[in-house]
């Protein structure tokens, strides 16, 4: 069973000027998402700068998100690691906090084999009872979860139910969908590929765009799921310039800047991420105005 269908936001973690997590602004961002129709909140993912949070901060942010959402929509926690024991620890703790599901990125840097990936994900899944979405993002991890491995995991491990596909390779997604025969919930991991992936049987997106445009991102998915493919496509194409601008520097640099431009005070970034180049800020502002979310 799907954890959610539609648009899940890969929510940012707002920071104070001193680099601490800004929980007051985090609460405001959560309410902004729910009011905009977001179908799920994915907390402590790449966009949430999980890689620079301490384990204590990571779990505190998850706990705070679960409490603030209070069951109104599903909360999925990013608990992946390149260390299997760390992933198990974060996953079991997140389960205790009441999350609805987990997002597990493939182990980065280690460059595990496909058998290694299978063993890693199965070990984490066996330690919890809640459903799990795998996260395939080769551009960040240095390794690809092959379609055959995804399907094997979803067929053989009861609580592994889907994958966030951010390889950018539509041919790979098509192969995955063909092999899966409906046993894998496929989520687009790229905002410019929501409609293409849904056309191959995908059930939605785990989105950066939704941070600044929750209603519009929700509507792209909702229209497609309702059978209004043309309406969904038109919204997708309208968003392309903004999607490109949100990735003109490494995520989440642009999306945090976009939220700050909107007056939502997402705050600073943790190093090694640094502030956006002025020329790219201009590109982002132009795209936001064109999309109608900045005057």
Average pLDDT score over the chain: 97
- Mean per-residue pLDDT for 158-163? 98
In the residue annotation, 64 being an active-site residue is answered as no
- CATH numeric code, 6-232: 3.20.20.70
Is 80 exceeded by the pLDDT of residue 1? no
- Catalytic: which of 118, 135, 187, 224? 135
What's the average model confidence in pLDDT over 111-134? 98
Q: Catalytic one among 25, 63, 68, 164? A: 164
Strands (E), 145-199: 160-165, 185-188
Band the pLDDT of 130: cuts 50, 70, 90: very high
Report pLDDT digits (tens) over 242-252.
999 999 999 99
Per-residue pLDDT tens for 44-95?
Answer: 999 999 999 999 999 999 999 999 999 999 999 999 999 999 999 999 999 9
Share of the chain above pLDDT 90, in %: 99
pLDDT digits (tens, 9 = 90+) for 63-72: 999 999 999 9
Strand residue runs (E) in the chain? 6-10, 40-43, 75-78, 101-105, 132-136, 160-165, 185-188, 204-207
The confidence score (pLDDT) of residue 2 equals: 85
How high is the pLDDT of residue 254?
98
For the segment 164-186, what is each residue's pLDDT rounded down to a tens digit? 999 999 999 999 999 999 999 99
Q: Cis ω on the peptide bond leading into residue 252 (within 30° of 0)?
A: yes
Q: CA dist 12 to 8, 51, 88, 229, 268, Å?
A: 12, 12, 23, 29, 11
Kindly give, in sequence order, each residue whose CB lies less than 8 Å from that of residue 267, ignoring residues fewer than 6 positions away: 14, 15, 16, 17, 22, 25, 256, 260
Dist CA 221 CA 203 (whole Å):
8
Domain boundaries, the chain: 6-232
Distance (Å, whole) CA 105 – CA 78: 8
For residue 295, pLDDT over 90 is answered with no
Specify whether 135 is catalytic: yes
pLDDT of residue 257: 98
Note whether 40 and 76 are within 8 A (CB): yes
């Amino acid at each position: 069973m799907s954890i959610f269908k539609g648009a899940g936001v890969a929510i940012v973690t707002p920071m104070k000027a001193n680099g601490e997590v800004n929980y007051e602004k985090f609460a405001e961002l959560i309410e902004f998402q729910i009011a905009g129709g977001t179908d799920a909140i994915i907390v402590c993912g790449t966009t949430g700068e999980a890689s620079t949070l301490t384990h204590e901060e990571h779990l505190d942010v998850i706990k705070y998100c679960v409490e603030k959402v209070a069951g109104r929509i599903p909360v999925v926690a990013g608990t992946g690691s390149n260390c299997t024991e760390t992933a198990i620890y974060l996953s079991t703790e997140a389960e205790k906090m009441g999350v609805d599901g987990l997002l597990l990125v493939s182990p980065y840097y280690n460059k595990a084999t496909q058998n290694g990936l299978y063993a890693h994900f199965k070990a984490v899944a066996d330690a919890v009872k809640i459903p799990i979405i795998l996260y395939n993002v080769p551009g960040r991890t240095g390794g690809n979860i092959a379609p055959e491995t995804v399907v094997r995991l979803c067929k053989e491990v009861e609580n592994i139910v889907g994958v966030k596909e951010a390889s950018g390779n539509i041919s790979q997604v098509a192969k995955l969908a063909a092999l899966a025969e409906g046993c894998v919930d496929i989520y687009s991991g790229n905002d410019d590929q929501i409609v293409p992936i849904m056309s191959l049987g995908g059930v939605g997106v785990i989105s950066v765009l939704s941070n600044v445009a929750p209603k519009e991102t929700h509507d792209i998915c909702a229209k497609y799921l309702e059978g209004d493919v043309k309406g969904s496509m038109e919204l997708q194409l309208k968003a392309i310039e903004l999607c490109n601008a949100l990735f003109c520097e490494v995520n989440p640099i642009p999306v945090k800047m976009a939220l700050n431009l909107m007056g939502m005070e997402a705050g600073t970034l943790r190093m090694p991420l640094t502030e956006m180049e002025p020329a790219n800020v201009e590109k982002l502002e132009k795209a936001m105005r064109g999309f109608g979310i900045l005057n």
